[in-house]
Amino acid sequence: MVGESATIGEPPALREIDSRDVAAVFAALREALAGGAPVLPRDRSAATGATVSWGAVTVGAVTSGADASASSADPAAGDIGLVIETSGSTGTPKRVALSAAALRASATATYRWCDARAGKVPESRQWLLCLPTHYIAGAQVLVRSILAKTQPVVLEGRFTADAFVAAAKRLTAAARYTSLVPVQLQRLLGAAADNTMFAAEIDRVMQRFSAVLVGGQQTPPAQLAAARDRGWPVVTTYGASETAGGCVYNGEALPGVRVREVDGEIWLGGDQLALGYLGDPGRQARSFVTVDGVRWYRTSDHGTVSDASGCQRVRVTGRIDQVIISGGEKVHLGAVERAVQTVPGFEQAVAVPAPHPEWGQSVAIVVPNPAAVAATSASVPTPVRDACVPLGRAARAALLVEIPELPRLSSGKPDRRTLEQIAAEHAHFCD
């Protein structure tokens, strides 16, 4: 039997806090986990005129703790501990309501997985915060710190390898963790490759971590391999704000997490699931369903689920909304992107659709090239074409566009809508 989740209304006294005031968010989250007012970390940099890049965390004297008035709520709204505003991959704003119990369940599952991997329970745990607290990955660093009863170290200002190393050296616990997005990991790898003396220092710092969680988007295979070859304990994570953060690590469902595949779509279940979306019953009914008494979040991700060695393994192959029809054939852009990223020099490549006069749509590959002054078209190299061969004729890249730098959302993810526009402007070069 399939049913809809109850609508979540506006919670009373939703506490809005500037996400740059990490100390204030940390304190408010501690209160929320203990039954206090729900917290809404919000990036106020645009309102104040400050410039804060993704991956930057600035602690400053900002106004915080203001209560946002709200309308009456459903009974379940009283369970809300944290609200995360996110546009996800669709660009449509949504407010994800998470209970204190879901946040605890997620943090506890992370520790259980890490402890099992290490073969022991550490005497103490500590986190390095490198992500904004208005994103679930940043907020979860604080939640996990609260459960560990330790103070997180905060990387202040713009993310650089120097700043990261300096901040990591301030960690003192037996078990040390951090959470990054792939672009941050790439910056560390770039610094390690460019400076021999500094490379050894970066390696020492990275190897001292018990786990370096990397998520928010797919980590390019070459980047992942390079980090692990250096002995860095990188753990890939998969999840969403709707699952209180990552709930699949290195392809394995965390303890207590349920995973299933329905018509090629990945569904996630467990105590870590969000209550729903504030003020958006339609979206909530589409995304959260109950089947035979079990509540699930429909991820809109293509993938497969298998059982191996007593745990569920998940393989994500792409977004459902990133499937195009080229010449009458379906093409999964995520699969093309992963294949192209295995080609040296294309580790940061992004696959987007482009109009084609004969096939309707075709695959365009956009890559950053610091030497490019503006977006320029070029012929698709043979290695890139060869990488796409196993995916079928329609998956063959028909256009290559080089741009000085990839446009990104504030979360660090590639801005795919902008990249699609760039590809469309060069679509007449499609072969």
Whether residue 108 sits in one domain with residue 11:
yes
Asked whether residue 306 falls in the same domain as residue 337, the answer is no
**What are the angstrom distances between the C-alpha of 166 and each of 130, 142, 145?**
12, 20, 20
Do 413 and 274 lie in one domain? The reply is no
- Examine residue 319 and state whether it is found in any structural domain, yes or no: no
Are both 154 and 288 inside the same structural domain? yes
| Predicted pLDDT of residue 64 | 33
CB of 343 within 8 A of CB of 384? yes
| 168 and 96 housed in the same domain | yes
Same-domain pairing of 274 and 369: no
Q: Indicate whether 270 belongs to any domain.
A: yes
Residues 305 and 332 in one domain: no
Which residue, of 314, 342, 373, is where some domain finishes?
314
Same domain, 299 and 184: yes
Question: Tell me, what's the pLDDT at 411?
Answer: 65
Same domain, 233 and 156: yes
Query: In the prediction, which pLDDT does 376 show?
Result: 84
Sequence length of the chain is 431
Answer whether 265's CB lies under 8 Å from 271's CB.
Answer: no
User: At 354, which CATH number?
Assistant: 3.30.300.30
Q: Which domain holds residue 348?
A: 327-429
Q: Which of 251, 280, 314 is the last residue of a domain?
A: 314
In a domain, 393, yes or no: yes
Residue 320 lies inside a defined structural domain of this protein: no
**322 located within any domain:** no
**Total structural domains within the chain:** 2
Pairing of strands 234-240, 211-214: parallel
Q: Contact at 8 Å (CB) between 288 and 5? A: yes
**Angle subtended by helix axes 221-229 and 182-194, to nearest 10:** 50
Q: Are residues 19 and 140 in the same domain?
A: yes
Instruction: Write down the pTM of the prediction.
Output: 0.78
Query: First vs last Cα of the chain: how many Å apart?
Result: 49
Indicate which CATH number applies to the domain containing 253.
3.40.50.12780
| Residue whose C-alpha is closest to residue 249's, from 99, 111, 124 | 111
pLDDT in tens, the chain (431 residues): 445 455 565 555 789 999 999 999 999 999 999 999 999 999 886 554 433 333 333 323 223 333 333 333 333 455 899 999 986 554 567 999 999 999 999 999 999 999 999 999 999 999 999 999 999 999 999 999 999 999 999 999 999 999 999 999 999 999 999 999 988 999 999 999 987 789 999 999 999 999 999 998 888 888 999 999 999 999 999 999 999 999 999 999 999 999 999 998 999 999 999 999 998 999 999 999 999 999 999 999 988 999 877 778 999 887 887 788 887 787 888 889 889 999 999 999 999 988 887 788 889 999 998 888 788 888 899 999 999 989 888 888 889 999 999 988 766 778 888 998 998 888 776 66
Q: Does 321 fall in a domain?
A: no
Residue 24 DSSP one-character state: H
Shared-domain flag, residues 111 and 42: yes
Structure tokens at 97: 């309501």
289 and 337 both lie in a single domain? no
